[in-house]
Amino acid sequence: MLSNTLTNFIFLFVFMGSFSAQNETSGLVNWLTLKEMQEKNKVVPKPVFIDFYTDWCGWCKHMMKTTYSNQALANYINANFYPVKFNAEGKDTVEYNGKIYKPLSKEPKTPHELAIKFLGNKLSYPSTVFITNNFEYNLLTQGFLEDKKIEPILVFMVENAWRTSTFDEFNIHFNHTFYDTAFKKKAVKVYSITEVEKLIQKKPKKVLVNFESSFCNSCRIMSKTTFVDTSIANYLNKNFYLVSFDVERDDTVKFKNEKYFKTLINGYPMHNLGAKLSNNRFSMPALCILDEQLNNLDVLNYYQSPEQIKPILKYFAENSYKKMSWADFIKEYSLAKASKAKK
């Protein structure tokens, strides 16, 4: 099934740096009220973010004039989020997620109950709360967010990286991919699916298929950081054939004596070998693990950091999946790792 990432298709805004007319009131973002956001989200769910500001907050105005006046960044937000601008000292009674929130008093500079709900005792501005998964997951950031600070947060939310990684972990790898590229890494051999089908007959190994596309930023991060991580690359080279498969490719590919090609999948032009390899659990990003006979063992949906993927690779490469459940394996793995750290 296609992920929500594809339905919100747009290219990454990193490095574009395109600014239009500056506006300290709203920038170029199409801000919604809380009511409008919730009504739209019922029809087409998207990630949400709430910009908490005050009338006296200079950095709030500066963020509107700079960050939210970046045309490329505003386009990304408008396409992928329901953005809300909320006065943290406003006097309106509002409803959020089925509950009523009111101002604490009519006096000036008194915080609103909704601001207290998200910010607690840390009432500093600007503060931005990013929300997804039907209002169940929240990520709070406080202070001025320049382009380079907000970019990884937006991708983290849109591409569902929060499901498999902490933001701090994701942010490190995001910056290694797009900005600070001079980090320690190890080369990993990458094959095509056609090459692997021939190689596996002579030297059987399991296969890790990395689905990629021009619009998937998490895929790019995995290619630039996860697979070349010094703790991962050697293990991959020894135990797997790593395949890079562009789901936007136009050519016909022959795999296990059947032909696959680009077609419409849920209305999107995608290569149908991706659906075949993933047992129709296709999403972006995704990794598919195949056995030595090129049969599907598992599909890893969402972003996978080096820290996250290491035990998964061991589970399949060492055939532990044949002897125990993943829950039992990761319990043993974690205990062994903790014991080793104490020594």
4-158, CATH topology level: Glutaredoxin (3.40.30)
Secondary structure class of 258 (helix, strand, coil): strand
pLDDT score at 252:
95
pLDDT score at 6:
31
The whole-model pTM stands at 0.88
Q: Which residues lie closer than 8 Å to 252 by C-beta, 6 or more apart? A: 259, 260, 261
pLDDT score at 5:
34
Domain map (residue ranges) of the chain: 4-158, 190-342
Domains 4-158 and 190-342 share a fold: yes
Q: Which residues lie closer than 8 Å to 167 by C-beta, 6 or more apart? A: 139, 152, 153, 156
Query: Averaged in consecutive runs of 10 residues, what is the pLDDT profile of the chain (343 residues)?
Result: 34 46 77 96 96 96 95 96 97 95 92 96 95 93 96 96 96 95 92 95 96 92 95 96 94 94 86 87 88 95 94 97 96 88 71
pLDDT score at 10:
39
pLDDT score at 26:
82
Type of residue found at 4: N
- E-strand ranges in 88-194 read 94-96, 99-101, 127-132, 137-142, 190-191
Q: Domain 190-342 sits in which CATH superfamily?
A: Glutaredoxin (3.40.30.10)
Cα–Cα dist 24/34, whole Å:
20
pLDDT score at 32:
97
pLDDT score at 283:
78
pLDDT score at 22:
54
Q: Which residues lie closer than 8 Å to 56 by C-beta, 6 or more apart? A: 109
Cα–Cα dist 340/343, whole Å:
5
pLDDT score at 337:
85
Residues 193/197/198/204 CA torsion (nearest 10 deg)? 120
Q: What is the CA radius of gyration of the chain?
A: 23
Q: Is the dihedral of CA 9, 68, 154, 77 positive or negative?
A: negative
pLDDT score at 23:
65
Angle between helical axes of 167-178 and 147-158 (0-180°, round to 10) = 120
**What burial letters (b/e) apply to 227-251, b meaning 16+ CB within 10 Å?**
bbbeebbebbbeebbbbbbebebee
